[in-house]
Chains A and B, each alone.
Chain A
Amino acid sequence: MRMRLPVLLTALLFASQAPAIDDYKIGELALEKPGVPKGSLTQMPTWNSKVYAGTTRDWWIYVPAQYSAEKPAALMVFQDGHDYVNLKGNWRVPTVFDNLIASGAMPPTIGIFINPGHLGEQKPQSAWKSNNRGKEYNTLGNTYSKFLLEEIIPEVQKQYKLVEDPEQWAIGGASSGAICAFTVAWERPDKFRKVFSTIGSYVDLAGGHAYPYLIRVAERKPLRIFLQDGANDLDNPYGNWPLANQMMFSSLNYMKYDVKLEYGDGQHNSKHGGSIFPEAMQWLWRKQ
């Protein structure tokens, strides 16, 4: 087929403007706004765990500007914390929290951003490579929730007052950090009742592929769960992430959980998750 040049150029122009997959951008609520009170972000001393003996890890605390000891704060814990505190990354949680707390879309909330543990003297080049990450995040059961409830949260409570209402305790993460967050709420709905999960690894890295079936045969737990995944997420020896997340959604929906799935065309990264994070927080923290 022969085309005249102008036609060909026009066709090429349209092709270049066609939406590419996974082209998500951060939203306006992830940008600092004049006049919005800024909370503080503090890096805490390296943590030596007893539950995960021999591991060390970095962590951070966000305290909203509105916090006062007279008014205990809500809580949200992020796994792979380093990614969420990066003010130039996909998440920019402190800025989003500043904006949403100021507008009343979520309560004054203390954020804990915690990395997975690492065994050994040398810190890994990247916190994603922490060598205890898989064990802590992918394993089902109550060990990680013990680590949070017996070590990390009491340490935070030495300085800050948190509400006791489990409806005001949220937990989130991406990939293995997401299934980790879900496991904490699944094991301890008496403590955590809000889950934020993106590109969640509900696959067989360590038995997590059982969740869609376990959900269907367990008495409904009082949880609110936000799920995100994309059609171009991983498909590998451990499972298919897009299908696994749709399975999670269908099981939670079947069992009449308060659940939402945001399904896009993203890959295994936090671009889509980050772009919808402020809206996800509004949904997760809504009053009813």
Chain B
Amino acid sequence: MKQFLAAALLLSPLAGLMAQDTSLHDNLVPGEGWQEAVTGFAFTDGLATDVAGNLLFTDVKSGKGIYQLGPDGKVNLLIDNQPGISGLAPGPDGRLYACQNKAGKVVVFEKDGTVKELIKDVKPNDLIVTSKGFVYFTETPTKRIHCITPEGKTFVADEGHVLRPNGITLSADQSTLAVSEHGGSKVWAWQIQPDGTLKGGSPYMTMLVSPNNAKGEALGDGATTDEKGRYYVTTELGIQVFDAMGRLSGTIAPPYLGAKIVSVEFAGPGRDWLYVCAGDKIYKRKTNTRAAWTTAPAAAKP
């Protein structure tokens, strides 16, 4: 028995143990609330971070392309002529991957500025790229999660389980894929296999549903992960935070009452600022934690 216990302790993810039983407020900084970081857009979305910690984002409704929020607080257009992007994620190779929701494609921006199509005739919503180069993206209306392998092979990794799959992220050690339900109350999780296939899918985390939602939907949307393995998922009630064991440890209030938040990411030089998209604006707040992993550099300006 003792040996078993010792083995079990050794096998438990350390990050998971460390993140246990912490109050939501342990991750937040007293007196530091939300502040406006970006304004003047229509429907901000697609938050990602480049290697320097700059925030990248899009405007699904009226954006020209991919924008970058610099350390000086100024926004510049990083990649032009790329409207209708709903999800962004940097890859391990330094390239930037994107869900072209309106065009029905997932693409990657090469370092020379050219755009390479990875899959077409899909309705991609959001995506994540693992350190091994596997791309996973959600297709909300078809209840599918697609995979694109580093060799460019595509397949449907899960179908028919997740109610309107939307936000997507990884565990801190990248062994687990997590997808939020927009049309339900679960965040699903799978073990990622060496060939990119998914195993052991289950409705792992349960989001709180607003009592004001008549359909009983949590409206789970964008998701990210911190260094302690906690998952951050935007919902109607706010950003719901789950520890590495999948337990709800708290809901960070939205920037203002009734804000419709759709994307969340850590950025800044220390990756300890939490950013959230709320319609025409992006808000930020300081935290006591930071992003789970350092992302690869974004594609250079073409």
Contact = CB atoms under 8 A, between A and B. Distances in A.
Interface in A130-158: 139-142
B45 to A, nearest CB: 23
A216 B241 CA distance: 13
Interface stretch (B35-43, B98-106, B250-258, B267-275): B250-258
Contacts of B253: 218-219, 221
Interface string A167-207: 00000000000000000000110100000000000000001
Contact of B250 (A142, A190, A219, A254): A219
Contacts, number: 40
Given A188-B257, A220-B25, A141 B249 contact: no
B24 A219 contact: yes
B107 interface: no
A219 B251 contact: yes
Contact of B208 (A142, A188, A217): A217
Given A141-B212, A142-B212, A217 B257 contact: no
Interface residues of B, number: 17
A140 B211 contact: yes
B211 A217 contact: no
Interface string A70-97: 0000000000000000000000000000
A217 B250 contact: yes
Contacts of A21: none
A218 B251 contact: yes
A219 B25 contact: yes
A140 B257 CA distance: 17
A254 B21 CA distance: 13
Nearest to B257: A190
Given A140-B211, A142-B212, A188-B257, A217 B251 contact: yes
28 contacts: A139-B211, A140-B211, A141-B210, A141-B211, A141-B212, A142-B211, A188-B257, A207-B211, A216-B23, A216-B250, A217-B208, A217-B249, A217-B250, A218-B24, A218-B237, A218-B253, A219-B24, A219-B25, A219-B238, A219-B251, A219-B252, A219-B253, A220-B25, A221-B253, A254-B23, A255-B23, A255-B25, A256-B25
Interface of A: 139-142, 187-188, 190, 207, 214, 216-221, 254-256
